[in-house]
Amino acid sequence: MKKNKEPLALTWKRHKSKYLMIAPFAIIFLVFTLIPIVVSIVLSFTSFNMVEAPHFNGLTNYINLLVRDDVFLIAVKNTLLFALITGPISYIMCFLFAWLINELPPIPRSIITLVFYAPSISGNAYMIWKLIFSSDTYGWANAWLLKLGFIKSRILWFETADYIMPILIIVQLWLSLGVSFLAFIAGLQNVDKSWYEAAAVEGVKNRWQELWYITLPSMKPQLMFGAVMQITSSLSVSQLSIDLAGFPSANYAGHTILTHLHDYGNIRYELGYACTIAVVLFFIMLLCNIIVQKLLRKLG
């Protein structure tokens, strides 16, 4: 990639203002996104506790993480299970609702868009779920299940390992109609209307065929963008789990890779080890995204 000096100076001269315009963002991006990734990777091979200087310990962290750390394996299992369910379902929900909303006249469309989008911007309003699934009889779910006679005694929702994951999944799905949902609505509005007319002439019979032959192919770029957003957010759940199920959650049922990271990074101060967890998660995210991108590209 090495170039001799003359063209480089010339390049600079010709494109100086472009580079200068990119520079402020590039510097911040470099310092607060790229360098941290490199630092993370370097620290993941060390033992570091903030007080003493980090010292190199080779692959010890990785071996401990993958072989000795049973809790990490639970975290990986939970994270993947969580992502495998919420990722695809939230993605389909985003598309399905966007598609249904698109059929409505403008004013109901705006209102229903807001209804679906509101949870994702509601800040900490998801804490209401803690009240809905509260363990005492004041909890909405318990109170109604008792009253209707489905259960004999109250259920300790967030104290019972079996219930934690399903509840977290429901809440995450509730929160998940975010940026990709808006992107899909926008994409649908921009599909050329005349294509539908043409398709009807060509023998497309119903809305499902319309969807498959025209709508989906023409909004592929938005679909790819949405996939990136949904995958990333379904893999990075942690605050939700900590706020609702507590930390650590009963029997580690709500433990994810990120809460494991939080444990070692913010509580135990084993930063080298925490970085190892971060690096593993980083590659899981990147890998999932790249695989899904490849798949989606092939589909079209």
Partner 1 sequence: MRKFCRFLASKLRARKIRRRNRSLLGDIGLTLVLAFFGLFSLFPLIFTVVNAFKPLSEIFIIPPKMSVENPTLNNFFDLATIVESFQVPLSRYIFNTGMITCLGTLGTVLLGSMAAFPLAKYTFPGSKLMSNIIVYALMFNTSVTAIPNYLIMSKLALVDTYWAVILPAVGSTLGLYLMKNFMVQIPDEMLEAAKIDGAGEFKTYWSVVMPLCKPAWITLIILSFQQMWGTTGGVFIYTEELKPVTYVLQQMVSGGISRTGVSSAISLIMLMVPVTVFIFSQSKVIETMATSGVKG
Residues 67-86 that bind partner 1 (CB under 8 A): none
- Start-end of H helices in the chain: 5-29, 35-43, 60-63, 70-102, 106-117, 128-132, 140-147, 161-175, 179-189, 193-202, 207-210, 216-218, 220-235, 239-245, 257-262, 271-299
Kindly report the CA angle at 186 between 120 and 123, in degrees rounded to 5?
10
Query: Smallest gap, in angstroms, from Cβ of residue 234 to partner 1?
Result: 10
> Does 43 contact partner 1 by CB under 8 A?
yes
- Amino acid present at 210: E
Site for partner 1, residues 171 to 200, rule: CB under 8 A: 174, 177, 179, 182-183, 185-187, 189-190, 196-197, 200
Which is nearest to 171 in space by CA: 257, 281, 72, 85? 85
> Does 94 contact partner 1 by CB under 8 A?
no
Point out which span in 56-64, 65-73, 74-82, 277-285 binds partner 1 (CB under 8 A): 277-285
Task: Report the residue number, 98 or 253, with the smaller CB distance to partner 1.
Answer: 98
Point out which span in 60-68, 77-85, 156-164, 276-284 binds partner 1 (CB under 8 A): 276-284
Site residue total, partner 1 (CB under 8 A): 109
Find all residues with CB under 8 Å of 208, minimum gap 6, and list them. none
Distance CA 285, CA 233 (A): 10
Site for partner 1, residues 245 to 274, rule: CB under 8 A: 258, 261, 265-266, 271, 274
Site for partner 1, residues 131 to 160, rule: CB under 8 A: 131-132, 134, 136-138, 140, 143-144, 146-147
